[in-house]
Amino acid sequence: MARLLRSVRAAGRATRGSEGAAQLPVRRTGIAEALHAVGAGATYMRASRVARDRARRFRVDPETGEVRESDRGQLVADWVELFAAVVFEPHRPRAWPAEGSLLLDHLPFRVRALDASGKRIPAGRVAFDVLCAAGYHAGKPRRWRAEWFPTAYPADWSSFLGALPGAPTRIVCDAHSGMLRAIAERWPQVGTTSMRMAPAACA
């Protein structure tokens, strides 16, 4: 937590000139606690409510004086957008793992959608895809990289795999055609094991 707080302080100094940073509704410790909670699995809604409660920053009805409690998660979502990159930077892997397996997968994020006749599409439509990679460091699993793309086509996978130098010794993934094509083009010498259900690299 202390390291996280220092990162938030550094990010605050770097963005002090922006209107959003200048009007942060709680102290830096509250922001660090909220980011820590989200990283541990709390929802944006839960973390935002706790942050507002601890800072006593719920709105008050101007006519009745009644406190308006809010569960909106946008507060912490904004903090993640503002601070996450700075907090994560010291821990970001600089190259693909040189030992063990590299696990690749992608997670499509869907939104509600209607077909041409106005009927709801059961599975909705894919708004974007998050490409994910997990590897091993000192024998322990570690999320290596995650990035969103508008699609999961070969060009997207090529960009994702080309973001870091180096090459893994072995790749485990599903049989997604775009992924396999990008792997073959970038790392033709690397052995690839395709599974019907890929490991949860995005988990």
Residue 70 sits in the same domain as residue 124: no
Which residue has better confidence, 171 or 11?
Answer: 171
140 with 182, same domain? Answer: yes
Report the pLDDT value the prediction gives residue 155, as an integer from 0 to 100: 97
For residue 96, is it within any domain?
A: no
As a whole number of angstroms, the distance between CA 111 and CA 72 comes to 19
Which residue would you say has higher pLDDT here, 68 or 74?
74
**Is the pLDDT confidence value at 183 over 50?**
yes
Q: Count how many domains the chain has.
A: 2
Q: Which domain holds residue 75?
A: 2-91
- For a pLDDT cut of 70, what percent of the chain falls above it? 75
CA–CA separation, 71 and 97 (whole Å):
40
Amino acid of residue 200: A
Cα distances (angstroms) measured from residue 54 to each of 6, 16, 51, 60: 20, 23, 5, 16
**Do 79 and 139 share a domain, yes or no?**
no
Is there a domain that residue 200 lies in? no
Taking 80 as the threshold, does the pLDDT of residue 13 lie above it? no
Confidence of residue 203 (pLDDT cuts 50, 70, 90): low
pLDDT in tens, 30-60: 888 888 899 888 999 999 888 887 776 656 6
What average pLDDT score do residues 12-25 get? 46
Q: How far apart are CA 94 and CA 86, in angstroms?
A: 15
Residue range 104-155, pLDDT digits in tens: 999 999 999 998 899 999 989 999 999 999 999 888 889 899 999 999 999 9
For residues 3 and 85, the model is more confident at: 85
Q: Are residues 73 and 109 in the same domain?
A: no
Residue 201 lies in a domain: no
The pLDDT-based confidence of 69 (bands split at 50, 70, 90) is low
